A and B are shown apart, each in its own frame.
Chain A
Amino acid sequence: MEKNEDLLAVENLTKHFKTSFGVVRAVDSINFKVKAGETFGLVGESGSGKSTTGYMVMGIYTPTSGKILFKGNDISKHAKKRPKYLKKDLAIVFQDPASSLNPTKTIKDVVGLPLKVHKMVKNSDELAQRVSELLEAVELPAKDFMQRRPRDLGGGERQAVAIARAIATNPSFIVLDEPTSALDVSIQAKIMKVLMRLQEKLDLSYLFITHDLSLMRNVASRVAIMYLAQIVEFAPTSVFFQNPLHPYTQMLLSSVPVLTKEEEKLKPKGVISKGEVPSAINPPPGCRFHTRCPFASEICKTKEPIFVTAEPGHQVACHRVNIASQKQ
């Protein structure tokens, strides 16, 4: 696939979970596209639906409605119903490597399993050869690690193994679901470097899910902000951090604890964090953020905002921005 072509397109994707308390609207009609070779960032707080979105792309959940198009084909069904070649092409790295790696298997078994399932190796020599290549690709000393088990490894090393497993089948698209949030910062930096080198070398596209805006700033080429099951703002990363438009985005940015004075200048003033995320069973009518928004007016309480384009590639769903742009 050529660069800048749409690899993945999500259209009106929705996931509702039925629970004993009512229907949880985890993801509500979201749209986005991921281009070949880019890192698309999905940012939101816990419960905003970002992981659910990633899981639907992987076929772990079946969408309630809407479409997921991968290389032009509709793949919006459960993984069990997907053709095998598709599973080869899509991979995921989970948040917690302690629970995503089978503790009873050796590292060789863990990384070798997808190779066996997809019949990518002919014999055990070839398997060992390929596994050691993969481990070296994620900068682990293959010789020492092949026969060890996940519990013998540190958190960062475990996550590197999970990444090696994800790239084993030569996928073109990887969902990274908070891949470093269980790790210490010094280890996080190392894992991120590995991921970025792999992307360059193997021409990968990433759907990067995180709650950490500082991390996102350094990884993604484009960012989407999710709030309560909906996307509220899209922008190219650099634009986004210079000129955040949605009040929720501003609130998020102003809440980020920073280390330097230069960073402090980037934090929007005047939007102080207040309130909590309402329940996804009974989301507020109109704009879902109006209960916490310092600028909320009457229209926000009744009418759902639509996306307006503020500048090329920068879209935001906010009545206030919409009104301001119409006045100009």
Chain B
Amino acid sequence: MELLLDVRDLCVNYKTYMGELKVLNGVGFSVHKGEKIGIIGESGSGKTTTMRAILRILATNAVIKRGEVHFIGNNVLKMDKKKLTEMRRRHVTMIFQDPTAALNPVFKVGELLADVVKYSHSFNAEKTTKQKLREISIDVLKEVALPDPQRVLDSYPFQLSGGMRQRVCIAMSLATARDLLIADEPTTNLDVTIQDQVLRLMKNLVEKKNLSVILISHALGTVRGTVDTVYAMYAGNMIETAPTEELFSNPLHPYTQGLLKSVPKLTGAGFSEGIEGRIPNYIDPPTGCRFNPRCDRALDICMKEKPQLLGVEDDKHKVACWLYSKR
């Protein structure tokens, strides 16, 4: 499979008045053409920061310390403005967590959608008539199973329900041909029955258009049902990766194990004790493995040296933990 996105040793800091937050601590992962990956982790683990770095839409106080992001062979972090715009318009698209904040409240859905179609379509933008744009917009809305697309086009975002708004966001991001879809907690703000519908819709569209996907979520179940490969993230590091079923049935990292055990099950097995403590302070993060203060199996080496993400048994299941390193 052709390599689409390759992130290597990405380090991002945030400058604040309290000091520098060392958030991303050498993140690395890759996405091949047609591959669907999921990134799980609790809030504050750096999932969104990673995605924003890929699109270079980080907050202004963020500093990319080191690392490389290659998209089809080009280093995104060194792209000039023109190439960057080209990438955002034609190749990579993102669905954000909160559709209310993602849609500009002073424009009608039709205007928002027309802009996206106009600027990212491969045909000549100036020659496209309003009529043609509207036709395309209606087709796009039909694709996301929105009833009465004509009415939706003439509505302002606040006139739609949360589920409809997220469908509009999906429609906008998939209006034109793309290679990679980044979905950042696309269903967190939705009710469970609506979440089910939106996820199914996204899955169908992705299959139909043969897109690569990065799905970010802290709701582990939604990731399990959607992607092929899962990465677990903790405090700015990728700590484990495996094919979906393997990761959920046989987690290796103490954090992944604790996380999976913490999720209440429909079978009713009660609760685990959860994981002690919380995400570290990023101004002065623990040395070595960043999970060591919360880990009940920490060794001496965990305090000193950062473990690398290495394969266990086969090369598909990798874990960054000293417990599994061959000594």
Contacts and interface: CB of A to CB of B under 8 A. Distances in A.
Chain A CB within 10 A, most for which of B197, B263, B273: B263
Interface string B219-250: 11110110000000000000000000000110
A141 to B, nearest CB: 12
A190 B273 contact: yes
A241 B224 contact: no
Interface string A225-269: 000000000000110010000000001111111111011001100
A214 B42 contact: no
B264 A45 contact: no
Interface string A187-229: 1111011001000000000000001111101100000000000
Contacts of B269: 218
B221 to A, nearest CB: 3
A187 B278 contact: yes
A80 interface: no
Contacts of B222: 257
B161 interface: yes
Contact of A273 (B197, B258, B270): B197
A154 B276 CA distance: 12
Given A184-B218, A186-B262, A237-B268, A276 B274 contact: no
Contacts of A171: none
Contacts of A185: 42, 218, 220, 259, 262-263, 274
Contacts of B265: 214, 217-218, 258-260, 262-263
Interface stretch (B78-86, B102-110, B188-196, B307-315): B188-196
Interface in B170-203: 191-197, 199
B314 to A, nearest CB: 22
A273 B190 CA distance: 13
A283 to B, nearest CB: 16
A189 B192 contact: no
A238 B199 CA distance: 28
Q: Which of A184, A188, A274, A277 has the most CB of B within 10 A?
A: A184
Contacts of B191: 45-46, 211, 277
Interface in B20-60: 42-43
A185 B271 CA distance: 11
Interface string A94-135: 000000000000000000000000000000000000000000
B267 A259 contact: no
A189 B262 contact: yes
B219 to A, nearest CB: 6
Contacts of A188: 262, 264, 274
Given A217-B265, A237-B268, A238-B268, A273 B42 contact: no
A193 B248 CA distance: 23
B193 to A, nearest CB: 4
A49 interface: no
Nearest to B197: A273
Contacts of B221: 256-259
A193 B224 contact: no
A238 B274 CA distance: 23
Contact of A217 (B194, B199, B264, B274): B264
Q: Is the interface of A mostly helix, strand, loop or mixed?
A: helix
B195 A255 contact: yes
Given A274-B197, A276-B163, A241 B274 contact: no
A156 interface: yes
A259 B218 contact: no
B163 A259 contact: no
B224 A258 contact: yes
A196 B271 CA distance: 10
A213 to B, nearest CB: 7
Interface in B268-299: 268-276, 278
A269 B163 CA distance: 23
Contact of A218 (B42, B193, B196, B270): B270
Most buried by B among A46, A212, A237, A259: A259
Contacts of B249: 260
Nearest to A253: B266
B43, B218, B271, B276 — most chain A CB neighbours (10 Å): B271
Given A188-B274, A190-B274, A263 B266 contact: yes
Contacts of A259: 220-221, 224, 248, 260, 263, 265
A202 B76 CA distance: 59
Contact of B274 (A186, A212, A251, A274): A186
Interface centre among B191, B199, B225, by most chain A C-beta atoms within 10 angstroms, is: B191
B42 A184 contact: yes
Nearest to A212: B264
A118 B274 CA distance: 35
A215 B164 CA distance: 27
Interface in B128-180: 161, 163-164
15 contacts: A46-B191, A185-B263, A188-B262, A188-B264, A190-B273, A192-B264, A217-B264, A217-B265, A217-B267, A238-B268, A241-B266, A255-B193, A258-B224, A267-B266, A274-B197
Given A156-B278, A274-B197, A277-B191, 8 more contacts: A186-B259, A187-B274, A187-B278, A189-B264, A196-B271, A213-B192, A218-B265, A257-B219
Interface of B: 42-43, 161, 163-164, 191-197, 199, 218-222, 224-225, 248-249, 258-276, 278
Q: Which 10 A-B pairs have the closest CB atoms?
A: A257-B221, A189-B274, A255-B196, A190-B274, A186-B275, A45-B191, A189-B262, A184-B42, A273-B193, A263-B266
